[in-house]
Amino acid sequence: MKYRTIMKTKSDLSSRSNNEDSTLKHTSNKTLAISDIIFAHFQALRPHQWTKNLIIFAASLFSFKIDQSLFSAVIAFVLFSATSSSFYLINDVIDVKSDRRHPTKSNRPIASGKVKVSTAIFLATSLLCLSLLASISISWKLFFIIGLYAFLQVCYNFKLKHLPILDIISISIGFVLRAYAGAVSINVHLSSWFILCTAMLALFLAIEKRRAELRLVSLKSGGARPVLRYYSMELLNKMESIVTSSTVISYALWSSGPQVGGASTYWMMLTNPFVLYGIFRYQMLSDSGRNDSSQSYESSSLTERPDEVLLSDRPILWSIILWSSSCFTILWLKSISVIS
């Protein structure tokens, strides 16, 4: 009798333990599933591409307004990031079918099915409306620029990205608008040479992106941009040559100082080597992916994603850090009248 009682007690304890383990496991899986869903939706916003909006802080840096007005630039950065993310969502919804045939874009949250199309549309609409409403409360100029950027993105996603030459020009205009957003947020004027340099650098990155995409067409089939059929490597090489020269010259003229309506001091010319190195390094990465047949697909597609190059390539990252540090040091020395 005692033996049966003991065995029954053990059985009840074992059953209770199994039930508790099952409950804990179910709770853990549910928590994991929720975190995966949240991460997928955050990933769909493409936060790694928010680095493109860092040019908003250029006005604060070159006017040396590192004070309370910097907060306004941070707000502009947040609003532009929200606006750009809304159009990344819209773009992924529009291209969902072609993305599913692409070797890497098929892993995007919407293309892979981790984020529903209806949810993506709701998020995009909400982010765009919130950023526009917030910009009105800050500045009408900022609202106008964000609204103009939104209009440009609508045109780009539905039409311009399918038109040769206009597609890369649209990308360049987007960067110019970002630079102006930073300027109006702190109420300063940007040099026309700096705006031209920004436009040329954006064109350079857009052309390099198209070169990488055109090369990948020969490596992998499916999911290619329709606009690529209008481009050839020879044409893109010619365009790159013109734009690279224009970028270097426009930056050199801007850094020459106030005599030509450029930077506030001619000492900014000391930053030219970092710009040259960054451009040449980017071209080297592009050429190694194009010419070396032993390169893997991932390494060949590196310059297809400029935002990842800026974060993953250590020499380029160091050139950006050194350029920023030298600009800050020169402007600080000028502010305390050590240099003119």
Closest to 156 in 3D by CA, of 132, 131, 141, 173: 173
Helices 140-158 and 166-186, axial angle in degrees (round to 10): 170
3-state secondary structure 229-262: HHCCHHHHHHHHHHHHHHHHHHHHHHHCCHHHCC
Q: What is the pLDDT along the chain (340 residues), one digit of tens a residue?
A: 544 544 444 455 455 555 544 544 444 445 547 888 888 889 889 998 898 899 999 888 888 776 667 888 899 999 999 999 999 999 899 888 888 887 777 888 888 888 899 999 999 999 999 999 999 888 899 999 999 999 999 999 889 999 999 999 999 999 999 999 999 988 888 888 889 999 999 999 999 888 888 887 765 555 567 888 899 989 999 999 999 999 999 999 999 989 888 888 999 999 999 999 999 998 888 775 444 444 444 444 555 667 677 777 899 999 999 999 999 999 999 988 899 8
Structural domains of the chain in order of their starting residue, each with its CATH number: 54-190 (1.10.357.140), 196-340 (no CATH)
Helix axes 117-138, 2-44, angle to 10 degrees: 60
Contact 40, 92 (CB under 8 A): no
